Amino acid sequence: MKVLAKKSLELKQKTEIDKLKVEGNFAGIKARVNTFFEAATGETKVKATEELKGACRELYHDILGEKAAEVKALKESGATDSELAKKIDELIAGVTDEAKKAKAEEYKADCKKIYGKIILKIITAG
């Protein structure tokens, strides 16, 4: 998953993220990005939210591929949030690439926090 674009991070934060990236500490990057996001306010929070939404959308489109269109069609047909969440979980469960499936599960809670709902909006946007 992409890290916040550097324009939303302060120099000290950028340095921390870059160091973790060089170390290959992706769990650390995720934790720091979440910390920075939670602490952000005002315009910085707005920019960070948009950047993270884009990262979540890109991540799930990459993982689900053409299957993401099924969720969009279901949403457009008037399905409830519960039905959509169930479909998303089914699609993630059907991912055969275990690394991609693990990544989807790993970021689901973070993306839910960004969107305020299960990854519904991530997949149906665009």
Buried/exposed 54-85: b ≥16 CB within 10 Å, e otherwise: bbbbebbbebbeebbeebeebbeeebeeeebb
Residue with tokens 């809670």: 109
**What is 40-124's CATH number?**
1.10.533.30
**Domain residue spans in the chain?**
40-124
- Residues 6-48 have pLDDT tens digits of 455 677 888 888 899 999 998 898 898 888 888 888 888 888 8
- Is this structure's pTM higher than 0.85? no
Q: DSSP character for 77?
A: T
- Residues 58-71 have pLDDT tens digits of 888 899 999 988 87
